[in-house]
Structure 1
């Protein structure tokens, strides 16, 4: 039982957990003395975080800081990463497992990670992420995306490597920039969705393409989602350029996403690039949050803390009101969970605060704070992390 927690910052409560799920939420009673108690100490009780866009296979968290050497554009950045990722001070399997441990210790127990697969690394990076998933199998739910970062058409043999990754245990079929990288969107998406249909797996497409080109690729993805009956199983990551249109274009695209139950994931980027979060949420589109790379060969940013990234989502969205800051945390927790498991209902409104009701999985985080907004602003270290009803971390350390 969790004693003296405040679900979503509300009234002091005691939460009974049975078989990994929330069995009862009761008003706090100081006289209640169950055998096993997790001391809430008046802290906020929140759903655990869901990082649904992270590249664990390229992490340099915990290693010496290095100058950023990436060039402009996806291809140049990929080649820079390809030239350096094997040269880490420790092996890739160790650093992936360590970064996942740091994420769990800070409250993230649901993770969707990319693993680059191409003719250079083949399955080596995928195997490192799969190994980390096994190491932390009792602490977090991890889905692994077989991700063709170098495209599918530029290097001979790429589609076969992608299929090999699915046979090796990847959970999701990845794709990337069908127009600007592979320059053949129909063929690229035919490969991605063909494999998804063959192996009955969901799809996650990185989309960095600008404006009208991004909307064109999105239309092709929407078309295939409907044709194959893949509603709730397709996600477009990033996709910031496709929202750079007229009010009518944006509204029509939001509606198309909602009708086809296509999700989107953001990393809350700066520079005026973002998503129409309010409009997407009000339409019932599944939206998740992620950290992307973590101090890797692409970017010096990232610190394994989704509470910090929740602050960034609120800040880059220009949000100040408590309801909107709390909504950012709902996106970062249950919003992402509904991407990993489409049976979890979509957030129904800006004020929806799910994840802590009887019958919900006991994937929880206790965190210090006067209110949800104050916790997002302060990002306190006083945290206890619970996965499937068991304490897996406390005070930023695994238990």
Structure 2
């Protein structure tokens, strides 16, 4: 039996406690005993806040430029989705480092900030074929002891616009991709029936979940969402589908959106956001009130799409609270819950999920000991200040301290 005690921590900012971890699981949370003699493997909490570790459930590790010299943004100011795809295609091979190296660097930095779980997209198309997927899989393997990474085979340039892409997607799943991806079936491929036929057929053949980017706005986005929900119901794929971005849920009138949210809850379809701003942000309070699994991600990290991204999920938590217009401590802590256990429930539907803005799971007996210790007077202060000096544990084992991987 492997036993570790995390000494003098404050779970979710509560009273000083000692947390016993046995075989990678939280076994007990007791009042801190200052007189207790530490064992050699115990972890000094030093009065820091103990949180469940971060889950980045929408990141593109294959496109990151983190760690490389800064490059000016090169997408036209009149950017469309296709402009961004083609700009990336023109440049990704001359980034200065291979995909595997760049993905591993970015993932390592994210772990140093407190992440132990990610869902990363890996582009598959007629240009890169499986090269970018191979790079992300290599980064996943390099950090396998520090973080769990699900990899999505992602048709960024569509499934139907270039020859051979469905066959490449099939090969990606056979190579080890964990999730079947899709994107904008109406506005990009302009054939939602064929697009969704391919997505769901491959997912069922390979027994993997589905994750679909939906950038489509307004009524078109709601139409695509309804088409996906019809497939989920017809194919019995409840709890196995995620909708990423889902901008239409934040852009459309609530009287039109609420019936869609009810169906998301009924079919246990998850949603993820990258905290894009108030115009495109998800209606998070409406989602949590229905128990819809919701997670947070960092999207591209300083790549050919955008110069933004720090690899720090605590930064993105601040952004989520800010763009939602949340000022109350309870709501800022809810942003933390979405960034941690909310994301876990997207990746693993059987894990504990959020059912209200007051839920603070993730550090109780029976929870996995994937944890992060952060500095701050309160969880809200930790989000506002985003200080260093963090300690990150995966299955009860320290994997990073103060940004340095162990």
> Taking structure 2 as the reference length, what is the TM-score of the superposition?
0.97
Query: 1:45 aligns to what?
Result: 50
| Structure-2 separation of matches of 1:245 and 1:77 | 25
Offset at 1:246? 2.5
**What are the ranges of 5 or more consecutive residues in structure 2 without an aligned counterpart?**
none
Offset at 1:270? 2.4
The partner residue of 1:235 within 236, 239, 242 is: 242
The partner residue of 2:304 within 291, 297, 301 is: 297
Matched, 1:33 2:31: no
Offset at 1:90? 1.8
Where does structure 1 differ by over 6 angstroms across 4 or more consecutive aligned residues? none
| Structure-1 separation of matches of 2:236 and 2:51 | 34
Query: 2:8 aligns to what?
Result: 4
1:53-92 matches, cutoff 5 A: 53-71=58-76, 72-92=79-99
| Structure-1 separation of matches of 2:101 and 2:352 | 36
Query: 1:342 aligns to what?
Result: 349
Query: 2:399 aligns to what?
Result: 392
| Structure-2 separation of matches of 1:368 and 1:243 | 33
1:150-171 C-alpha deviation (Å, 9 max, x unpaired): 0000001010111110000000
Offset at 1:226? 1.1
Indicate the larger mover: 269-278 or 343-352: 269-278
Query: 2:294 aligns to what?
Result: 287
1:63-115 C-alpha deviation (Å, 9 max, x unpaired): 11111112411111111101100101122211111111000000011000000
Contact 2:189/2:195, CA 8 A, preserved across alignment: yes
The 3 A distance-change label for structure 1 pair 227 and 345 is: farther
- State the aligned residue count: 399
- 1:314 alignment partner, SS class: helix
Query: 2:106 aligns to what?
Result: 99
Contact 1:213/1:242, CA 8 A, preserved across alignment: no
The partner residue of 2:315 within 297, 308, 316 is: 308
1:355-394 matches, cutoff 5 A: 355-394=362-401
Offset at 1:271? 5.8
1:29-79 C-alpha deviation (Å, 9 max, x unpaired): 112224121110000000000000000000000111111112411111111
1:191-340 matches, cutoff 5 A: 191-270=198-277, 272-340=279-347
Query: 1:352 aligns to what?
Result: 359
Matched, 1:143 2:157: no
| Structure-2 separation of matches of 1:24 and 1:33 | 17
Contact 2:243/2:269, CA 8 A, preserved across alignment: yes
Indicate the larger mover: 237-246 or 109-118: 237-246
Offset at 1:241? 2.1
- 1:134 alignment partner, SS class: helix
| Structure-2 separation of matches of 1:338 and 1:347 | 8
- 2:58 alignment partner, SS class: strand
Query: 2:17 aligns to what?
Result: 13
Indicate the larger mover: 31-40 or 150-159: 31-40
Indicate the larger mover: 85-94 or 55-64: 85-94
- 1:156 alignment partner, SS class: coil
**What are the ranges of 5 or more consecutive residues in structure 1 without an aligned counterpart?**
none
User: Could you say what the CA RMSD is over the residues aligned between the two structures, in angstroms?
Assistant: 0.9
1:125-136 matches, cutoff 5 A: 125-136=132-143
Matched, 1:114 2:121: yes
1:155-194 matches, cutoff 5 A: 155-194=162-201
The 3 A distance-change label for structure 1 pair 111 and 151 is: same
- 1:115 alignment partner, SS class: strand
- 2:162 alignment partner, SS class: coil
